Amino acid sequence: VSSLVVSNLEGPLGNPEVRKALLMAIDRDGLVQAAEAGYGTRTNSLTTESVWTHADKATREAAFKDLVDYPFDVEAASKIIKEQGAEGKEIVITTAPISNTFAVIAQATAAAAESIGLKATINTVTPNAYTTLFSDPEARKGTDLYYTSWYLSVGDPQEMFSILRTDDFSNYGNWSNPEFDKATTAALSTMDQQKRFTKS
C-alpha cells in the first residue's frame, strides 16, 4: 500500500480535519494512473485484503465494507481548510530522486495542497537522506509529509496496526490513541485466529 506519512503532528497536518481535506484534494484515481501506470487502485485502508486471509469471510468483508470514503472534492476540501483556519499555512513535502513515482506524488500532493489554500514546499533530498527519515527522528524535523510503500512481512493486518501504537519505532508522526493501543495490544496477544481478528 502506497502511503503519505505524516511526520509532524505539531504542524497543520496535526489537525485531522486538515489531513482529511488534503486527502480529498488529491485525485487518487488520477494519481494511480500517472504514478503507477494504472497498476493499482484507490484504497481507504492501510492494508490490502490479501493480509486478512486468516480471518473468516464475514470478518474480512466487514473490515473493508464500512470504511469511510474520501472522494476527490476540491471544493469541499477548500471549505474545510477555511473552517479550520488553515489557509496559508505551510506544509513541507520531502522527496528524493528515487523513481518517477516519487516526483509525481510529491508534485501532485503539493498541487493539491495549494488548490485548497495551503502553502506547499517540496524539499528534495538525496536517496540516502530520504532513507534516514525512517530511522532518525532528527532527520524528520522540518518535514510534514513524505511518501512510502508499506509491505507486511506476514499475512496479518495486526503487523501494520501495531506500528501505529504510541512510541512504536515506526510511528513516525508520534500519533497516540490509548484506545487504539489497548485494542491492538489485545489482538496481538490473542492466539485464537477468529478472536484475534475481531478483538476490540
pLDDT by residue (tens digit) across 21-78? 999 999 998 888 887 777 788 888 888 888 888 888 888 888 888 888 899 999 999 9
DSSP H helices in the chain: 16-25, 28-36, 57-65, 74-83, 100-115, 127-132, 158-162, 178-188, 193-198
Number of C-beta neighbours around residue 48 at 10 A: 17
The answer, yes or no, to whether residue 100 has pLDDT greater than 90, is no
What is the 8-class DSSP label of residue 49?
A: G
Cβ-based neighbours of 34, under 8 Å, separated by 6 or more: 104, 108
pLDDT per residue as tens digits for the range 35-44: 777 778 888 8
Q: What is the pLDDT of residues 166-185, one digit of tens each?
A: 999 988 888 899 999 998 88
114, 166 Cβ separation under 8 angstroms: no
Residues 144-165 pLDDT 10s = 999 998 888 777 888 888 889 9
In angstroms, rounded to a whole number, what is the distance separating the alpha carbons of residues 106 and 189? Answer: 38
Beta bridge partners of 148: 3
Give which of 145, 136, 102, 130 is closest to 7, Cα–Cα: 145
Q: Which three cell numbers stand for residue 118?
A: 495551503
pLDDT surpasses 70 at 200? no
**Residue at grid coordinates 484534494:** 25
Cα separation of 69 and 41, whole Å? 13
More confident residue, 110 or 150: 110
Instruction: Supply φ then ψ for residue 191, to 5 degrees.
Output: -85, -35
pTM: 0.85
Q: How confident is the model at residue 110 (pLDDT cuts 50, 70, 90)?
A: very high
Q: What is the mean pLDDT of residues 85-107?
A: 94
Residue 199 has a pLDDT of 52
CA–CA dist 172, 130 (Å, integer):
13
Rounded to whole angstroms, the Cα distance separating 160 from 166 reads 13
Residues near 107 by beta carbon (within 8 Å), at least 6 away in sequence:
122
Judged by DSSP in three states, 200 sits in: coil
C-alpha to C-alpha distance for 84 and 167, rounded to whole angstroms? 28
C-alpha–C-alpha distance, residues 122 and 144, integer Å? 10
